Chains A and B, each alone.
Chain A
Amino acid sequence: MVERTGLAILAFLGWVGEVSLFGLRAMREAFRPPFEFAEITRQLYEVGWRSAPLIATSGFSIGVVLSMHTRASLERFGAEAMIPAGLTIALIRETGPLVTALLVSGRVGAGIGAELGAMKVTEQIDALEAVAVDSFKYLAVTRIIACILALPILTTITNVCGILGGYLAETSISGMSLELYFSRAFAVVEFSDLIPSTLKTMVFGMIIGTVACYLGFTTTQGTEGVGRTSTRSVVMSSILIILANVVLVRLIFFLFPPV
């Protein structure tokens, strides 16, 4: 039993190691010509623009729900005035980045995993190589870069929509004006709340892209394998995101100690 757990842990570590090497290689390749700008743009469209509606809707609902929760707890202390700030801080620091990353890992991670997995088992990746295209650069690097670029932007969209959702929830109860809401919302937010936690999502993007591409590139066993890749890509990137988040939050607290 212990032995088996030990082996599982070793296997997981080995797997993480391989994915990391894959990611490192992608980072190295990203800075070597030729640069696949057209493909990066296309992927940015797929990963970013096409995720935006999902992200905006979720952000909005999260804002509404968070606002109701904050109200329920702050009302008890007679601190309704703190609702916008409480919600904004919660959203910007943690909820926004994490929820965005998990949603994107669901939509995009699964998508990339399935797409590359299918390309792999139908020999399209070989076909790319056969027409003298570096499939790693063309498929993996571009998608990883697109994920890295898209996540901070998507997170910002989540945050903004969340604050708007919070505003609607709030104004429907207290009739607060948009201006007052925003001034209260940003009353306690610091640059050190917004910038590090938004930029940390680049790491989440890197994880999503790398895991999905790695699993896609290593897909075997036909259509069944594609399904498995798609699922594993979501599961693995979610786990890694949550683990990485712990480290990142610690790191951010270390670099920007809360006052």
Chain B
Amino acid sequence: MSAKVIGAGAFVVIGALLFTAALFLIGERRMLFDDRFELYTEFAKLGQLEVGAVVRVAGMDAGEVTEVIVPASPADKFRVRMEVRDNLHQLVRTDSIASVQTEGLVGGIFLSIATGSEGAPVVPEKGTIPGREPFVLADVLEQASETFEQVAMTVDKISGDLETTIARVEVATKDAHQLFIDITPQIKSIAENGSRMSADTRQVIAGIQAGEGTLGKLIKDDTLYVRAREVADEAQVAMANVRQVSDEARRAIADFRSEDGPAKGMFAHVRVTLGQTRDVVANMADVTEAMKHNFLLRGFFNRRGYFDLDAISPAQYRAGVLENGKRKAMRIWLGSPVLFQTAASGAEELTDDGRARIDAAITTFLEHLPTSPLVIEGYASDGSEGDRYRVSRQRAGIVREYVLGRFGLTANNTGYIALAGNAVASPSGDHWDGVALTLFIDLEDLKFVPQPRSAGVPAVVSTKVISK
């Protein structure tokens, strides 16, 4: 009997001890048993930061976020209140910067506080430190892509300037000669940097595509973030260089005009280098663009409004891949007899009447256009399956070209797809001959009441027949 009493006692005591130990582990992590001080930071974008998120000072677990105060107006920022261990207080200075960070793709979101500088005063209790906005991959790519475009334009401009100048200037001074010797290496280095950057970016994309290291791994390793950011930063530096070079070149050109002509060979050399630079930078812009359209990242960018119809099959498209819970398709059907006529060459071209119809249709979309993607669906119901596909693709292409030119729409947001003859729920039943202008629109943006969706078609919100 007594052995049983001891057993029962041991059981209860061991259980209670283990449970208490677990409670302590949680409590310790939450720093319930430490002295803490309170401080604030501010962000325009929260980046999924939540109450209860861990706060780290210089990488050390230091406390937690206790409150997120929603701003009163869009112009204000979110205020984040946190509690941090008192013994780390002297590390947090007024110039310490708070930033939201992630441990890997699905890792916890935490608030990181960098230690401040020696000279700055310690943050007072309930003080506010500056916050660095959360870093978002898409933004960086966007920025990189823009920068590259600017670089490319600048390079174009320089070479354009040079071309015209070379045409005009006949002689070169010794100074001018020297100037070109100075400029050339800089241009060369831009070209070199540029090709390295685009190689880097391409390598990242190749990595993703080869499936070597999954998307998660890449993002977890921060490779994509870091590389993309580096590329963007380097591009910015390159851009500054190019500007400087272009100014110097312009000055030189001005000099040329007034002085004796330079050596023609020198100009030729510079022209070649600039040409290379332009190619490289254009290449980089392409690669960054490609990154946005990469298969694995597509879901990520789709949410942000990018589409690559080349990567979507007609079957997927019909199944509604471009739609999500909120975003629905809205179609305007236009028939081929009104839209097209056969040109002398045998190819189809838009009729005047057709253009007017398209204009009228697009007008109803205009309100939503730059923000909602537009897809021109091509249909053709005559001939073989191959013919129908070809014709429907041509039609969609023609209409897209027209729409792009006429309304100056962004090419990025205006796609076209060949759907051959099958058109479920078109005004003529299960087929269509012509095109459908399809706007993918967030229901929230929609002013009118959605109609019940018809079976088989990617959620037609409103079907409006302009012409048959």
A68 to B23, CA, bound (A): 26
Chain A contacts with B in 41-91, Cβ cutoff 8 A: 41-42, 44-46, 48-50, 52, 74, 76-79, 81-82, 85
Contact A150 B11 (CB under 8 A): yes
Q: Which one, A44, A74, A78, A194, contacts B26 given CB within 8 A? A: A194
When C-beta atoms are compared, the residue in chain A nearest to B110 turns out to be: A187
Query: Chain B binding site: helix, strand, loop or mixed by DSSP?
Result: helix
Contacts of B7 in A (CB 8 A): 45, 49-50
Q: At the interface, yes or no: A191 with Cβ under 8 Å from chain B?
A: yes
Interface centre among B1, B8, B108 (most CB of A within 10 A): B8
The contact string, 1 if C-beta is below 8 Å from chain A, for chain B 96-140, is 000000011111100000000000000000000000000000000
Contacts of B1 in A (CB 8 A): 42
Contacts of A152 in B (CB 8 A): 15, 19
Contact B11 A45 (CB under 8 A): yes
Q: At the interface, yes or no: B29 with Cβ under 8 Å from chain A?
A: yes
The contact string, 1 if C-beta is below 8 Å from chain A, for chain B 198-230, is 000000000000000010111111000000000
Contacts of B61 in A (CB 8 A): 183
Contact B22 A49 (CB under 8 A): no
Contact A82 B107 (CB under 8 A): yes
Contact A41 B4 (CB under 8 A): yes
Contact B29 A187 (CB under 8 A): yes
Q: Which of B50-58, B77-85, B380-388 contacts A (4 or more CB under 8 A)?
A: B50-58
Contacts of A74 in B (CB 8 A): 106
When C-beta atoms are compared, the residue in chain B nearest to A77 turns out to be: B216
A44 to B14, CA, bound (A): 13
When C-beta atoms are compared, the residue in chain A nearest to B22 turns out to be: A194
Contacts of A76 in B (CB 8 A): 214, 216
A46 to B4, CA, bound (A): 8
| B361 to A: closest C-beta gap in Å | 44
Query: Chain A binding site: helix, strand, loop or mixed by DSSP?
Result: helix
A188 to B29, CA, bound (A): 9
A74 to B216, CA, bound (A): 9
Chain A contacts with B in 16-52, Cβ cutoff 8 A: 41-42, 44-46, 48-50, 52
| A43 to B: closest C-beta gap in Å | 8
Chain A contact residues (Cβ within 8 angstroms of B): what range? 35 or more
Contact A49 B25 (CB under 8 A): no
Contact B12 A153 (CB under 8 A): yes
When C-beta atoms are compared, the residue in chain A nearest to B13 turns out to be: A153
The contact string, 1 if C-beta is below 8 Å from chain B, for chain A 143-165, is 00000011011101101100000
Contact B11 A78 (CB under 8 A): no
Contact A156 B103 (CB under 8 A): no
Contact B107 A190 (CB under 8 A): no
Contact A153 B11 (CB under 8 A): yes
The contact string, 1 if C-beta is below 8 Å from chain A, for chain B 8-42, is 11111011101101110111011000000000000
Contact A160 B18 (CB under 8 A): yes
Q: At the interface, yes or no: A189 with Cβ under 8 Å from chain B?
A: yes
Contact B4 A187 (CB under 8 A): no
A3 to B11, CA, bound (A): 49
Contact A49 B15 (CB under 8 A): no
Contacts of B51 in A (CB 8 A): 259
Chain B contact residues (Cβ within 8 angstroms of A): what range? 35 or more
A160 to B7, CA, bound (A): 19
Q: At the interface, yes or no: B5 with Cβ under 8 Å from chain A?
A: yes
When C-beta atoms are compared, the residue in chain A nearest to B27 turns out to be: A191
Contacts of B214 in A (CB 8 A): 76-78
State whether A259 and B52 are in contact (beta carbons under 8 Å apart), knowing that A48-B12, A156-B18, A187-B108 are contacts in the complex.
yes
Contact B104 A77 (CB under 8 A): yes
Chain B contacts with A in 61-108, Cβ cutoff 8 A: 61, 103-108
When C-beta atoms are compared, the residue in chain B nearest to A149 turns out to be: B12
Contacts of A44 in B (CB 8 A): 8, 11-12
A194 to B20, CA, bound (A): 11
Contact A79 B19 (CB under 8 A): no
The contact string, 1 if C-beta is below 8 Å from chain B, for chain A 189-207, is 1110011001000000000
Contacts of A188 in B (CB 8 A): 108
A185 to B105, CA, bound (A): 18
Contacts of A85 in B (CB 8 A): 108
When C-beta atoms are compared, the residue in chain B nearest to A189 turns out to be: B26
State whether A49 and B11 are in contact (beta carbons under 8 Å apart), knowing that A79-B107, A259-B52 are contacts in the complex.
yes
A49 to B4, CA, bound (A): 9
Q: At the interface, yes or no: A15 with Cβ under 8 Å from chain B?
A: no
Contact B52 A82 (CB under 8 A): no
Q: Which one, B8, B11, B26, B220, contacts A191 given CB within 8 A? A: B26
State whether A48 and B11 are in contact (beta carbons under 8 Å apart), knowing that A78-B221, A82-B107, A153-B16 are contacts in the complex.
yes
Interface residues of A (CB under 8 A from B): 41-42, 44-46, 48-50, 52, 74, 76-79, 81-82, 85, 92, 149-150, 152-154, 156-157, 159-160, 182-183, 185-191, 194-195, 198, 259
Q: List 5 tightest A-B contacts by C-beta distance, closest first.
A: A153-B15, A78-B220, A78-B216, A77-B216, A49-B7
Jot down 7 A-B pairs with beta carbons below 8 A, ordered by A: A78-B214, A82-B103, A153-B15, A159-B18, A190-B30, A194-B22, A198-B19
